[in-house]
Amino acid sequence: MPRLLELIITTIMIVLLAPVMVVVALLVLLSMGSPVLFRQHRHGLRGADFRILKFRTMVTGTDSDAARMTRLGRMLRATSLDELPELFNVLRGEMSLVGPRPLLPEYLELYDERQRRRLDVKPGITGWAQVHGRNTVGWPQRFEMDVWYVENRGMLLDLRILVLTLVQVFRVSEVSQAGHATQERFTGNDE
């Protein structure tokens, strides 16, 4: 998708969703306290480091992610409302609306040569893997879908993914793997 079109769509989305973001921010503040936003290092285009922005969904502690997830956090993740602040990552040029999801930095050294192809494009708020199973898809299949997107990307595919994302969000399904807050950790290709 051309950058100018992406900026226009992102700006319109921020304006339209601003009231929702304010309500979510207040709910997070009232239920979990400060900070409202969760910031975490991720790798983007060509492995460049950036800090992804999300609404906070967990309380601090040493327990598992599933135990730290609040009721509000589960709802925010199920509806993908926790990801709305990523629109500002798109405005800053760190992410795109569509592309492979940015993964944790420690995964980078575990990628094989084909999996590294996902770094040939900016990471996205949504992507081909997200509309075909979201977090319930295993790592090998997820990486394969990410690389397929990189090899076949274009404006029509991006628009198709955006429409399918709306359907996915309203279905509120495939949010997490059983027993995990989102998805099991990637430990390399020897799984």
Q: Dump pLDDT digits (tens) for 5-62.
A: 999 999 999 999 999 999 999 999 999 999 999 999 999 999 999 999 999 998 877 5
Whether 62 maps to a domain, the answer reads: yes
Residue 30 lies in domain: 3-171
Whether 130 maps to a domain, the answer reads: yes
Whether 96 contacts 72, CB under 8 Å: no
Whether 49 contacts 146, CB under 8 Å: no
Task: Tell me how far apart the alpha carbons of residues 56 and 32 are, in angstroms, rounded to a whole number.
Answer: 8
The residue among 191 and 95 whose pLDDT is bigger is 95
Whether 119 maps to a domain, the answer reads: yes
Determine the pLDDT at residue 78: 85
Question: How many domains, in total, are found in the chain?
Answer: 1
Reported as a single tens digit per residue, the pLDDT across 132-181 is 987 788 899 999 999 999 999 999 999 999 999 988 877 765 555 555 55
Q: Is the pTM of this model over 0.75?
A: yes
Task: Tell me how far apart the alpha carbons of residues 156 and 11 are, in angstroms, rounded to a whole number.
Answer: 20
What residue ranges in 27-130 does DSSP mark as E strands? 37-43, 49-55, 96-98, 124-126
Task: Tell me how far apart the alpha carbons of residues 85 and 159 are, in angstroms, rounded to a whole number.
Answer: 21
